[in-house]
Amino acid sequence: MWTPTEKIINKPLMYAQEWNKDINKVYALTDREILDATKTYMLK
């Protein structure tokens, strides 16, 4: 099992809200595909 670097799961707005990061592109990787997950991580 993998452990995320920040040890936080299911908190996608952490980077935009808490760290004030400008999110340009976010990709989700599986063993079969690469998905564009950018909308999940952006402030609306």
CA nearest 37: which of 15, 17, 7? 15
Tokens at 13, concatenated: 């707005």
The domain tally of the chain equals 1
DSSP conformation letters of the chain: ----TTS--S-TTIIIIIS-------EEE-SS-EEE-HHHHS--
Distance, CA of 8 to CA of 29 (rounded, Å):
17
Range of the domain at 15: 1-44
Give percent above pLDDT 70 in the chain: 89
Q: Is the pLDDT at 5 greater than 80, yes or no? A: no
pLDDT of residue 31: 92
pLDDT tens string 8-28:
777 888 888 888 888 899 998
Residue 4 makes CB contacts below 8 A (sequence gap 6+) with none
